Amino acid sequence: MKSKNELRAKYRALRRELTAEQVESESHQILSNFINFFESLDGISHVHLFLPIQKLNEVNTFLILDFLWSREVQVYTSITQTNKKEMITVQLQPGEEFDLDEWGIPVPKHNEPCETDQLEMVLIPLLSVDLFGNRIGYGKGYYDQFLKGLKPSVIKVGLGFFEPEPRILEENHDVVLDFYIWTGDIFQFAKQE
């Protein structure tokens, strides 16, 4: 089994190889899969969404943002506070304007912090995931910490471009996903007891 660092390097390289056209085309396919997934659920009205780092070829979640707003869903994102090693949650408003932070993450210009107790679903960036819902992010641990602070009923959905790995080595601090949506399919992970 490859280490997390080896897998992180592999998927960073694979993402770098994607053209802007491929990222956009595959993001539209992920949007289509997400719409099918979202419409199979009942009454989700508060969704937390990561905003894409374009230079790292992340999934273009602005497509999902527009879809959620069209369904009158309340949408939230997080702002990374590197000095405190945490993320604060803010609500997004239609017509919002964005600046880029030091990492290239879009940050809403109007960003009043809010509580996370209304969240019902979180869409999570990743480099890779395995068949059991273990994910590899960028290795900073921000999302694991953020997810641990949410109520257990929140649906955790990873978004990515690549088929899952057979197995990723889990660590104690890792938070397992409930679903993974990529260009090919929607994976639902069995709850591990």
**How does pLDDT run across 49-106, given as a tens digit for each residue?**
999 999 999 999 999 999 999 999 999 999 988 777 789 999 999 989 999 998 899 9
Asked if the structure places residue 90 within a domain, the reply is yes
Q: How many CB atoms lie within 10 A of CB 136?
A: 24
> Which two structure tokens, joined as six digits, stand for 99?
């600046």
107-165 tens-digit pLDDT: 999 888 999 999 999 999 999 999 999 999 988 888 988 999 999 999 999 999 999 99
For 129, phi and psi rounded to 5 degrees?
A: -145, 160
**Residue-number span of the structural domain to which 26 is assigned:** 4-188
Q: What is the CATH number of the domain that holds 40?
A: 3.40.50.10420
Confidence of residue 191 (pLDDT cuts 50, 70, 90): low
Q: Measuring CA to CA, which residue among 68, 53, 57 is closest to residue 157?
A: 68
Q: Which two tokens stand for residue 87?
A: 């993320």
pLDDT exceeds 80 at position 168: yes
10 CB neighbour count, 10 Å cutoff: 16
- Count of structural domains within the chain: 1
Establish if 151 belongs to a structural domain.
yes
Residue 13: inside a domain, yes or no? Answer: yes
